Amino acid sequence: MDDARAQLHALLAGADAAELSRPSAGTRWTNEQLLFHMVFGYLVVRTLLPLVHLIGRLPAPVGRGWVALLNCVTRPFHVVNYWGSVVAARVFDYARMGPLADRTIAALQRHLAREPEAALHRGMPFPAGWDPYFGYLTLAEVYRYPTRHFEHHRRQLSLRGGS
């Protein structure tokens, strides 16, 4: 997580307004919107932790039912996922997303340091149609997810040093 945070700050510091407003490579987002989306992966995980703790303790059919319900809303999810980053990048622009990432990653690291070993092995299914890294994820994999997501999208940036 620390490497991703450092990369984010380097990308933000090295980009000018023209680069940030340029389309990214392979997405419909601008570079700035994609950078926010990359930070958003960490925000999502922070919010998901209580759910993973809960569903990871319940019988497997509960998790399968939950993911079946989420699979039913895959198309609306993608619309919200796209437009959410478009709109949120206006509020958490290049000047604000670095500090947001710092706070969020620090909170995730604090939570991870307090996790009992047994909890890291429990998990739950996630809707595979929502993200290429989803499927059944243990809590340890959920903590790794936002950095994998960050690296995946970093290659789509059209900033100097973004790929």
| pLDDT tens column, 113-148 | 999 999 999 999 999 999 999 999 999 999 999 999
**CA nearest neighbour of 4 among 111, 160, 143, 117:** 143
Architecture of the domain defined by 2-154: Up-down Bundle (1.20)
Structural domain spans, the chain: 2-154
The pTM for the full model equals: 0.92
pLDDT digits (tens, 9 = 90+) for 45-82: 999 999 999 999 999 999 999 999 999 999 999 999 99
